Amino acid sequence: MKRLAKLLAASAIAGGALLHLAAPSDAAPSNAAPSNAAPSNAVPSDAAAPKAAPSHAVERSRSLPQGVDVSTYDRGVDWGGGRLAFGIAKATEGTGHDDATFAANWAKIRQNGLVRGAYHYGHPKNDPVREADHFLSAVASAGLQPGDLLMLDLETTDGRSDHQVNAWAKRWLEHVQRKTGVKAFFYSSWSFAQEHGDGLAGYPLWVAHYGKAPGRVTAPSPWKQWTIHQYASTDHDHNVSRLAADQLRGLGYNPSHR
C-alpha cells in the first residue's frame, strides 16, 4: 500500500468456514516481489488539493470513525491510543507471500477492541482462486472471528486488459464469499476502481483518494456510496468510515451465514 500512497501523495502535492480451509499444496509464489503499496493506483485528474471545507464539514470529518491500515513497512502503531475505531492489516500477496507482521497486528487490533480487517494484495497475472485460498489460509491460521472484515487490494493490472482485471476481481471476490459468507471489500484508488469496478457495486468499497478531505469523497461508478475512505499517508495510512463500528462489524464474518 505504501507504493500507491506515495503516488497518491505526490500527485496531490503536484497539482492538485474457514475452519476446514487449507491453502492449496501446489500454490507457487508470485513472480512479483511483494508490494509495499498502500491499498490504490494513481490519483484521478480531479484530485487537486481541495478548497478549505466549511466548518460544519470539518466537524463532520472529525466525527467519523477513524482507522489505519498497516503492513510490514509500518512500525509503532498505537492500537490502544483510544482514537481508533478500526484497524486493517496486510495478510498476503500473490500466491506465496505472507506479511511478516500480520499475526501480531491481527492480535493487537482485537486485543484493543477495534474492528479489524485483513487485506490481500492481488496480482491479476496469477490464478485468482489460488490467490484467494492463500489469503484465506493465512487468515484462518491467525484466527477469523465474528465481525472480522476481509479485503481485496487491487491496484495493478500486471499488463492485463481492463476486462481481464475486472473478471479476475470478480472471481477472487466470489470465491472468498463462497468460502466464508463474507462480501469482501474492494480497495483501490478512485480512478482504478472506476475503470475496473464494473459489476462490483455489490461489494463494499474502500477507496483511496488523497485529494479530498476525510469523508468528503464521492464514490466512483458503479458504486453509489463508499464505506471506507483512505485520505492520507503520513506516519501510517489514514482512513475514515461512513459507518459506525458496529455497522462495520455487520459486514464482517458471521459463522451463521456460511
* Active site (catalytic) residues: 69, 155
Q: Which of these, 195, 191, 197, 185, lies nearest to 242 by C-alpha position?
A: 185
Whether residue 113 contacts residue 121, with contact meaning beta carbons closer than 8 Å, is answered with no
Cβ count within 10 A of residue 36: 18
* Euclidean distance between CA atoms 184 and 186, whole angstroms: 7
Radius of gyration, CA atoms only, the chain: 17
Burial of 228 from C-beta contacts in 10 A (0-12 / 13-18 / 19+) = buried
Instruction: Kindly give the pairing relationship between strand 185-189 and strand 149-153.
Output: parallel
